[in-house]
Each structure stands twice: as C-alpha cells, then as structure tokens.
Structure 1
C-alpha cells in the first residue's frame, strides 16, 4: 500500500476511533473507582446522602465510589477541587444548595465559576427543614412563635451555622413574611447550636429534620412547622399550611461533575443515580433520613439551579444580606 494511502487510512481510523469515544465511554463507565468529593465534614446531611448514594452505586455498578470529605470555606474548598479535577467522569461532587445555589450570589468573590466549571447531573434529594422550639417557650404552633416575635421583637434567639445557609435565610424569609423579628446567633457548626437549643439558651431553630428528629421523638424540642411534608412528622403543618405560603426555603443535596465531562458520561451517571435512588433498599434508607428523591435529568436540574440562584439572589439583595 502506498505510504500516502497508509497515512490517510491511519487518519481515518483515528477519526473513527475518536468519534466512537463518547459512546464507548458511556457504555463502559465506570470502568474504575470513582471519587465522590463532599465539601463538608463527615456526619452532616450532605455526607449522609453521599454515603448512601456511594454505597448504592458501588453495589449497582460493581465499581467503588469513594467518599472524600473536603470541608472548608463554606464548601468552596471541596467544590473548587471537584471543578479543577480531570473531566473524565471519575470525580463527582455531592454538595448542598448552600454551595451551589447560595454561595454564588452571597459571596463577593468565588475561586471558581460554578456555571462554567461544574456540570449538573441531578438534584439528588430534598431535605425537609423543620422549625423546632425549646419546650420552655410554651409555643405549640408557629402562630405562637410569630405572635411573640411581633410582640417582643428581637427578644427570642435562634442559631445557625452562618448566613450562607438556607436555614438562616429561611428564618429571614419568615420574618419578612410575618413581621416578626428574632435575634440571630451564628455558630461554627450545628452541634453547638443544638446544645444551646436543648439547654434553653436558644428559643428555636430552623434545621434539617434528619439532624433533629431524635430530639423531636424524645420530646426535647417541639416541632412547629416543616418546609415539606414528611412521613416522619405527618401531623406537623407545612409553612404554607401554617399561614406562610410565600416562604420558599429548602435544603437539597445534589450531584455535579467537572465541566467538559463528555455528555454521554453525564447522561450515564444521571441514569445510574436515578436507578439507585429508585431501589427499595435505598428508598428506605432515604426515608429514615427524611430525604426525598428528586430523580430529575441533567437538563432539568441545570434549568432549576439557574432559577434557584435567582430566587436566593433576589432575597439576599433585597435584604442586604452579607457573609459573616
């Protein structure tokens, strides 16, 4: 065969192989262990969901999905690490909407661009938030709490892990909608805040149901309202049912990948995650943690995430909320 024809044939074969790469990658992913970066400490809601998902995907795909906790900088350390990773589908990010929906509109500067540097795969799960009060307040309903907050503005205290969380912004939304006023106490973590709530130094908190459920069951705190219905607290009204239909605050834990990951792998990863979240054993574990599967596609999640950033951003700008 003439040399020029050999070269041309080699070029054609290389082009054909390159064209087949996305389909091949989709068919074989994952062919080796996958790193799952969690930008928070072990034991929190994001970490709990990531470990449930990683175990399910490991069993389902017969490849290891390894959780790697990288906390710090309001979630930006781990998120940036994921964003800078090789875009080959073998690094995923599981993060809360504090990192993905609030940080980009709250922080003056970000070390990376979430829309440019990360690719949405799926929302994952919603985590209902519940307003709980110390029994010493005597509050039985959300109305009781709001009436005292209007009658004695600023005299009732609540705690959060900082202004960059849906928990803090949710209380601010409740204040705006009701006219009640409360005093915020920031903590370096949820643990110390729970201790002060149980000890009566805080009057109430808006917090993840999964984190406080044991204290609700033990009667140590009184649930007043919840952001979304949960079978764990079927008789607790939602914020809308309690008279605040315009307050829209939520926590969610989502899955992202570095940008430039081949679309075929993004679709395959989304398919595998949705399949895992539908299995009865996983559904049961999620219910035990008060987590609600979303099962959206990458395209649906991307569109929803853009709307979410605008939702938080409008409120943050209107109320001049700044980082701690």
Structure 2
C-alpha cells in the first residue's frame, strides 16, 4: 500500500513538473516571438500634436525593424488623461504601448485630483525619445515682429491680448510668461490643429505651441522666440526667450515610450534595444532636429526612472509657482 502511494505521488509530481516546464517553455516562446501581431502605440493627444508627429516616425521605424505593424491610436481628451488611463488598463502583453509625455506623466498628477491612473505605478518607462521645445509666435496680422514688441503690446493692454493654448505645457509657458510681467490672456484649444487654424485666421493674435507643430506653418505665423536653451535648426534665426531678455526662461517638454506595468522584462528589453538602435541612426537624429525636437541623452532604465521622478517634482514646483488650476 505504501509502495503504491509512493508511486502515485511520484507520477503526480512528474506530471506537475512537466506541466510547469511546458508553461515556462510556452511563456518563453511567446515572449521570444514578440511581436507576432500588430502593436498599437497610444497617443493621448490629437493628430498633429508634437507627440503624435514623433510617435508616427518611431512607429514606422519599429515596423521595419521588427516585421510587424506598429500603429498609432490617438485617444485624446481631458488633457491626455483619457488615453493614458486606457493604456494603464491595457493587458501587459507588449501589444499596447503609450508615448508618455511630461503633460500626462509629470503635470497632470498635480492638476487633477484623480486623472484615472497612477503616473508612477501604472507604467514602466522604456526610452526617452526626445525633448520638445516650444515656440512663441504671432499671427499673420498681429503688428509685432519680435518678442520685445509682443511684450510691449501685452504690457500696454494687460490681459487683452489673446494667446492660443493647445496643451497643458503650453499653458505653463503662458503662466511663466506672466511671471515675467507679460500679461497675455490664454484661450484654450483641443489641440495644435485647432490652435493653428485660429492663429492663421487671425482669430487670436498669439500662439504658444511646440516647435514641431509650429514649424509646419513657417512663413505664415511669425515665430518670435523658442523656449529651448539654444537656437534650433528647425527655426533658424529665431532667438531663445532667454537671449531676448527673459532671464532663465527655459521650458522643454518631453516624450518617453512606456508600457503598462507588468509587461515581461524580455519584451521591454527587446523594445528598448530596438528603440536605441533607431535613436542612434544619423537619419533619426537629423529627422528629429528637422522636425523641431531636441535629442535627449541616452539613459539606463534606472536612470530614466530617476529622471522622470525628478521631472515630476520640477514640473510640480513650476505648477505651484504659476498657480495653475486643474483643467
């Protein structure tokens, strides 16, 4: 009887071991085959925003590199909260990515009581793709041709000169201008396309948007300043705000490709390795510069996580100093 029980137990353990080995093998195979179907990259902003422009570039490169379709799914609304919350709820299988932004992952936690996700706990960052400077521009019929002239106009008519604002970071640029005694009045739009249409139609005299979005209409709108530390190839001849008398006026947004928490580390590693190859390509560096982005210094996973935490603190301090209100 004891011998029979022992044999039965040994058979059961052997079956369990075989099942476990099969499960591990299947999981490893599934991860090794990634991607075996199309991969969506959620962009929590409308088409035409700087994040959307850059993400479409990277989606095309990933499609070529990995042999599966990487496609952009725009999920705008609530200053990026709708799309970001959808990404947070997605299955952590590597087939849903999100192009995170400073707006969604560093600013919204301070602007909304409950944005619908935890910016730190719900995502794993993969790679910092680009830094995103802003441009301060005048509409075609606005009688200013320099930042100094715009400042003089705003100070002569406090809160009477409207400025189109398509994003929370654009709003922060506006609030920072106000701290430098440039009293413009913000008019919020759903995205870059709507804000640009208003500026081109001279419905608003001033536009604050990313260089990437603004550069498409050079020659129509009049860029007066950029918010980067140095001048940009995408807007030759346009001086920085700091160079034009607004001391220490530097404000740059960013994008980080992310995955929902729980995506297997093997998939994260492969995605990160492919993105690093893409970012190191000379053609990518030129394309980003031509589009109005600045290249970011490469960071390890640990360095990137620490950097995002620091950025979150910095943006939180800027929001508090500017007394920005929730959307």
TM-score bracket for this pair, using the shorter chain length: 0.7 to 0.9
> Are 2:53 and 1:51 equivalent residues in the alignment?
no
- Equivalent of residue 9 in structure 2, options 4, 15, 22: 4
1:55 Cα deviation (Å)? 1.1
SS in 1 for 2:225: strand
CA distance in 1, matches of 2:47, 2:198: 22
Q: Is the 8 A contact 1:87 1:257 kept in 2?
A: yes
Specify whether residues 87 and 249 from structure 1 end up closer, same or farther in structure 2 by C-alpha distance, changes over 3 A only: same
SS in 1 for 2:121: helix
Specify whether residues 221 and 32 from structure 1 end up closer, same or farther in structure 2 by C-alpha distance, changes over 3 A only: closer
Q: Is the 8 A contact 2:48 2:192 kept in 1?
A: no
TM-score with structure 1 setting the length:
0.86
1:56 Cα deviation (Å)? 0.5
1:42 Cα deviation (Å)? 2.8
- Equivalent of residue 117 in structure 1, options 122, 130, 133: 122
- Equivalent of residue 104 in structure 1, options 94, 103, 109: 109
Give the equivalent residue in structure 1 for 2:147: 142
CA distance in 2, matches of 1:81, 1:277: 27
Unaligned runs of 5+ in 1: none
Q: Is the 8 A contact 1:270 1:298 kept in 2?
A: no
- Equivalent of residue 279 in structure 1, options 278, 281, 284: 281
Give the equivalent residue in structure 2 for 1:94: 99
Q: Is the 8 A contact 1:22 1:262 kept in 2?
A: no
Give the equivalent residue in structure 2 for 1:309: 312
CA distance in 1, matches of 2:242, 2:57: 30
- Equivalent of residue 241 in structure 2, options 239, 242, 248: 239
Say how many residue pairs are matched: 319
Give the equivalent residue in structure 1 for 2:227: 227
Specify whether residues 271 and 157 from structure 1 end up closer, same or farther in structure 2 by C-alpha distance, changes over 3 A only: same
Give the equivalent residue in structure 2 for 1:257: 259
Give the equivalent residue in structure 2 for 1:190: 192
What CA RMSD, in Å, does the superposition of the two structures yield over aligned residues?
2.7
SS in 1 for 2:160: coil
- Equivalent of residue 81 in structure 1, options 74, 81, 86: 86
CA distance in 2, matches of 1:242, 1:22: 58
Q: Deviations over 1:184-221 (max 9, x none)?
A: 122233334323323434222221122222332x2x22
SS in 1 for 2:314: helix
194-203 vs 248-257, greater mean Cα deviation:
194-203
Q: Max radius of gyration: which structure? A: 2
Q: Deviations over 1:67-103 (max 9, x none)?
A: 2222222222221111111112221112332222211
CA distance in 2, matches of 1:160, 1:9: 65
Unaligned runs of 5+ in 2: 1-5
CA distance in 1, matches of 2:127, 2:279: 11
Q: Is the 8 A contact 2:160 2:184 kept in 1?
A: yes
Q: Is the 8 A contact 1:170 1:247 kept in 2?
A: no
